Amino acid sequence: MNVPLNFLLCGVGGQGIVLASDVLVAVGLLAGLNAKQAEVHGMSQRGGSVVSHVRWGREIYSPIVGWGEADVFIAFEKLEALRNLRFLRPSGLALISTQALEPLTVISGGQVYPDDSRLRAAFAQLTPHAHYLDAESIAAEVGNVRAVNTVLLGALSALLEANSRFAAWAPAPEIWLQVIAERVPSRHLDLNRQAFQAGRNAIAGPR
Amino acid sequence: MTVRQMLSGNEAIARGMWEAGVVVASAYPGTPSTEILENFARYPNVYAEWAPNEKVALDVAIGAAYAGRRALAAMKHVGLNVAADSLMYASMTGAEAGLVIVSADDPAMHSSQNEQDNRTYARFARIPCLEPSDSQEAKDLTVVAFELSEQFDTPVLLRVTTRICHSASPVELGERCERSSQTSPFPRNPAKYVMVPSNALRRHPVMEERIRAIADYAETFPYNRIELRDRSLGIITAGVAYQYTREVFPDASVLKLGMTWPLPEGLIRRFAASVDRLIVLEELDPFIEDVVKRMGIPCQGKDIFPLTGELDPYVVRLSAIQAGLLSDAAVPSIPTLEGDPLPARPPVLCPGCPHRPTFYVLNKLKVPVNGDIGCYTLGLVPPLSAIHTCGCMGAGIAVAHGAVQAGSPERHVAVIGDSTFFHTGIPALINVVYNQSPVVTVILDNRTTGMTGHQPNPGTGHTLQDKPAPTIEIEPLVRACGVKQVRTLSAFDVTGIEKTLKEYLQLNEPSVLIVQEPCALLPEARERWQPLEVNLAQCNGCTLCFRIGCPAILKSDELDEKTGRPKAQIDPNLCTGCELCAQICPRHAIPFRLDSIFLREAA
Ligand SMILES: Cc1ncc(C[n+]2csc(CCOP(=O)(O)OP(=O)(O)O)c2C)c(N)n1
């Protein structure tokens, strides 16, 4: 733990990436670690690409993660996963939500949205630890597509536990749930608990 | 017990202001500075306001400091260009209480039109510049800035950057230092506060002497510190670059500067003498490096690290390897993506954005459009492609006027947002009237300052601290500027906008069209959201609705039998029901809402 653990979250403005990074930071702190977080506001929020950096560790200097240095890579959208591929540390852990949000350059600009085989090949070349999750459908089954980010956090919690490199870092599920509970309005709490558990089940299978 | 809290740099500055006993703060929003005032405004017993522009904000802070209360003005880097005139006189006069200016610079231009290095303003204005390197220092140096300001009777520049403002790290909180609630009477001291030449002549040497005294103080300033480790490499650094230094060169000796103007030359000499090789690691300009070189000390800096854009651990590492400072083994392998370039995802006007219909019409009319800065600058993005110049806030109207006076053969349209109009648009419009050019100005009044996250402005009827305020109506204001041809329309009234613009483009006098509708993300607009649906039986895949650049309109899987083209489909999670698509659909394949104001015309 003397070398920090680096997370990179990416996706599209409006997908809840900032909230997910807040949770990640708070989980790290509650687990007794130090944390830093960085994101860019402004233009990126008008439906553009969004990237957020989170680091856990004892002593952390840079608030941002360099290219090739993300131990854990979480993509909320497929095209953004490819766009930010350069951040992933080879053999790192990648969690990719299989949602596709076509940018206007595809809808009306004649450009082509990359197909799944390209996505999977690019990640397969880099790491055996790439996981694809239809988080949108899982959230819909739980009752609200807006819970996608909680589903992904649930999946992430299980992936950290299951990966021998990260197991020592993995906070207990109760810590995640406590942090989520502090951040969502109480009327959405049950939904978010279920979404978190559904994300975990999608990785680990129901217990 | 000390309380530790995770704070962004901006939240930390706000906390520091409160702890320092700041009473008055004024600002104009601008990324990455905006959250400083938004957070400060929520502390008890403080006054915080949005001024119409940065110059006004700084003058307000100066007035408060003249009146003996600690005061601060915050702005993004380009805001200090607008406020520069005030900065220069404030440096001449000093004040009766602490005066701090926050400049939030944006290396890499994440949301700015340029990436100037505002440390230069500190040198130019003969004032100290403090640069924090994380949230803890952002808070602490804010407090220190006020102490320095009072100790030396000088404004202080607190210079931060996007990566300081918008990154979060833990901060130990302190108490508020309550300052006397009594103010002394406003100073009657013209020799100090009335900058006519005779007084100013006497103040200039005071200013020069002051900065020399601060340079002496900088030698022992606790936030300028030497960290001696391996002496083969010594690095002088400041701000967020300090973090990258520690990340990439964990063993190197470091001179970390918390004050980057004036520079502690003695400390620099001592540090240089204690290391074998000296480099300066700083973002943007070789600001420290130039001084070190001028002192006759050999060092490297911008010959190793980039002059433009922002630094990050990767860039620093790569540059260091190329310069032989690190072995190749240190570079992480960077995944590369093979194959075709990926489709870009530029920021776009939101679904239901009231700016969209105007740009749809302007695109159709094919006129030159002189734009300005705000969400509406996104009218530039294809397929709307209807902005042809954009430089800085308030420029558009005057650029159009200049082009017309130069004999540009076409009629020019200037587009400007409500907040930008209040910021610096009004004098430009007065110029159009006074010097008579037939510029057609469109004021896009979405009842908020959209781009920076919905700050209230003089047109919104409430203040930063949520007090009711008189609403400054734009139409009477425009008439008062002397414009005779003025009309206000709903921003969604495509037919009306097109008709009016065609008419105005024929006139030989200034004209102003105000299009009004709340930003689609404001609560009052959200209440009216009501997604539309495509009637697939009517749609023939003509693609016209794809050309309004609305993210809610998608290609469906259903192809039209005759044309073979995909029919349109509306994403019910994104559509707000603004009815631009319904109005322009030639086959009426997108039914209007039941409460539509356009039904009449469509029928
Ligand atoms: C001198 C200066 N100050 C601040 C900014 C930051 N900024 C860019 S656009 C904008 C607000 C625009 O608001 P408005 O004109 O109402 O347009 P909207 O974004 O709502 O469409 C601000 C504050 C800037 N670019 N330049």
DSSP secondary structure of chain A: --SPEEEEEEEETTSSHHHHHHHHHHHHHHTT-EEEEEE--SGGGTTSEEEEEEEEESS---SSPPTT-EEEEEESSHHHHHHTGGGEEEEEEEEEE------HHHHTT---PPPHHHHHHHHHHH-S-EEEE-HHHHHHHHT-GGGHHHHHHHHHHHHHHHSTTTGGG---HHHHHHHHHHHS-GGGHHHHHHHHHHHHHHHH---
pLDDT, tens only, B401-419: 999 999 999 999 999 999 9
Give the per-residue pLDDT at A14: 83
pLDDT confidence of B303, banded at 50, 70, 90? very high
Around Cβ B73, how many Cβ atoms within 10 Å?
34
Among the ranges given (A200-204, B195-199, B296-300, B499-503), the one the predictor scored with the smallest mean pLDDT = A200-204
Give the per-residue pLDDT at B601: 54
Interface test with B, best of A40, A73, A106, A144 (most B CBs within 10 A): A40
Instruction: Give CA separation, A150 vs A179, A190, B280, in Å.
Output: 11, 12, 44
Provide the residue count of chain B.
Answer: 603
Does residue B532 form part of some domain?
Answer: no
For the Cβ of B450 lying below 6 angstroms from any atom of ligand 1, the answer is yes
For the Cβ of B57 lying below 6 angstroms from any atom of ligand 1, the answer is no
The reply to whether B213 and B232 lie within a common domain is no
Q: If DSSP codes are grouped into helix, strand and coil, which group holds residue B508?
A: coil
Instruction: Give CA separation, B148 vs B70, B102, B141, B225, B482, in Å.
Output: 12, 14, 10, 18, 48
> What is the dotted CATH code of the domain comprising A5-204?
3.40.920.10
Are residues A64 and B312, on separate chains, in Cβ contact within 8 Å?
Answer: yes
For residues A111 and A119, give the distance between their C-alpha atoms in angstroms, rounded to a whole number.
16
Q: Does A117 contact B at CB distance below 8 Å?
A: no
For the Cβ of B28 lying below 6 angstroms from any atom of ligand 1, the answer is yes
Interface test with B, best of A108, A113, A116, A179 (most B CBs within 10 A): A108
Q: What ipTM, to 2 d.p.?
A: 0.94
Alpha-carbon distance A91 to nearest alpha carbon in chain B (angstroms): 11
The reply to whether B116 and B163 lie within a common domain is yes
Alpha-carbon distance B202 to nearest alpha carbon in chain A (angstroms): 44
Quick one: closest CA in A to B241, which residue? A62
For the Cβ of B29 lying below 6 angstroms from any atom of ligand 1, the answer is yes
What is the distance in A from the centroid of ligand 1 to the CA of B190?
A: 37
Nearest CA to ligand 1 atom 12: B374
Give the per-residue pLDDT at B573: 86
Are residues A69 and B246, on separate chains, in Cβ contact within 8 Å?
Answer: no
pLDDT, tens only, B114-169: 999 999 999 999 999 999 999 999 999 999 999 999 999 999 999 999 999 999 99
Query: Is 60 exceeded by the pLDDT of residue B600?
Result: no
What is the distance in A from the centroid of ligand 1 to the CA of B455?
A: 10
Chain A from 17 to 36: CB within 8 A of any B CB: 25-26, 29, 34-36
Give the per-residue pLDDT at A45: 61
**Chain A partners within 8 Å of B317 (Cβ):** 66
The reply to whether B317 and B390 lie within a common domain is no
Provide the β-strand partners of residue B370.
Answer: B389, B414
Alpha-carbon distance A170 to nearest alpha carbon in chain B (angstroms): 21
The CATH number assigned to the domain holding B77 equals: 3.40.50.970
Q: B505 exposed, middle or buried (CB, 10 Å; 0-12, 13-18, 19+)?
A: middle
How large is the average pLDDT for residues B321-343?
87
Does residue B126 form part of some domain?
Answer: yes
What is the distance in A from the centroid of ligand 1 to the CA of B205?
A: 38
Are residues A41 and B350, on separate chains, in Cβ contact within 8 Å?
Answer: no
For the Cβ of B443 lying below 6 angstroms from any atom of ligand 1, the answer is no
For the Cβ of B446 lying below 6 angstroms from any atom of ligand 1, the answer is yes
Q: Determine the structural domain holding residue B496 and report its residue range.
A: 356-523
Query: Is 70 exceeded by the pLDDT of residue B423?
Result: yes
The reply to whether B148 and B117 lie within a common domain is yes
Query: Is 50 exceeded by the pLDDT of residue B602?
Result: no
Instruction: Give CA separation, A93 vs A34, A88, A163, B482, B525, in Å.
Output: 21, 8, 8, 64, 41
Does residue B137 form part of some domain?
Answer: yes
User: Which two tokens mark B72?
Assistant: 């601060």
The continuous run of DSSP H or E covering B504 comes out as helix B494-504
Query: Mean pLDDT, chain B, as a whole number?
Result: 96
The reply to whether B12 and B78 lie within a common domain is yes
The reply to whether B473 and B374 lie within a common domain is yes
**Chain B partners within 8 Å of A53 (Cβ):** 167
Give the per-residue pLDDT at A73: 98
Does residue B529 form part of some domain?
Answer: no
Query: Is 50 exceeded by the pLDDT of residue B603?
Result: no
Tokens 């489709």, located at residue:
B343
Give the per-residue pLDDT at A43: 58
Q: Does A144 contact B at CB distance below 8 Å?
A: no
Number of domains in chain B: 4
Among the ranges given (B107-121, B301-315, B326-340, B500-514), the one the predictor scored with the smallest mean pLDDT = B326-340
Query: Nearest 5 degrees, angle CA B366-CA B369-CA B370?
Result: 170
How large is the average pLDDT for residues A45-67?
91
Are residues A13 and B547, on separate chains, in Cβ contact within 8 Å?
Answer: no
pLDDT, tens only, B18-41: 999 999 999 999 999 999 999 999
Query: Is 70 exceeded by the pLDDT of residue B550?
Result: yes
Quick one: closest CA in B to A126, which residue? B335
Query: Is 70 exceeded by the pLDDT of residue A42?
Result: no
pLDDT confidence of B597, banded at 50, 70, 90? confident
The reply to whether B207 and B245 lie within a common domain is no
**Chain A partners within 8 Å of B162 (Cβ):** 40
The reply to whether B140 and B107 lie within a common domain is yes
How large is the average pLDDT for residues B72-80?
98
Are residues A67 and B336, on separate chains, in Cβ contact within 8 Å?
Answer: no
Quick one: closest CA in B to A57, which residue? B169
Among the ranges given (B120-134, B327-341, B385-399, B560-574), the one the predictor scored with the smallest mean pLDDT = B327-341
Does residue B130 form part of some domain?
Answer: yes
pLDDT, tens only, B40-66: 999 999 999 999 999 999 999 999 999
How large is the average pLDDT for residues A109-130?
95
Query: Is 80 exceeded by the pLDDT of residue B179?
Result: no
- Ligand 1: atom nearest CA of B450 is 20
Whether the CB-CB separation of B511 and B483 falls below 8 Å is answered with yes
The reply to whether B199 and B99 lie within a common domain is yes
The CATH number assigned to the domain holding B292 equals: 3.40.50.920
Interface test with B, best of A67, A82, A127, A144 (most B CBs within 10 A): A67
How large is the average pLDDT for residues A109-122?
94
pLDDT confidence of A47, banded at 50, 70, 90? confident
Does residue B589 form part of some domain?
Answer: yes
For the Cβ of B417 lying below 6 angstroms from any atom of ligand 1, the answer is yes
For the Cβ of B420 lying below 6 angstroms from any atom of ligand 1, the answer is yes
User: Which two tokens mark B263?
Assistant: 């520079």
Non-local CB neighbours of B24 within 8 Å, separated by 6+ positions = B46, B47, B48, B60, B61, B64, B69, B70, B71, B72
Does residue B347 form part of some domain?
Answer: no
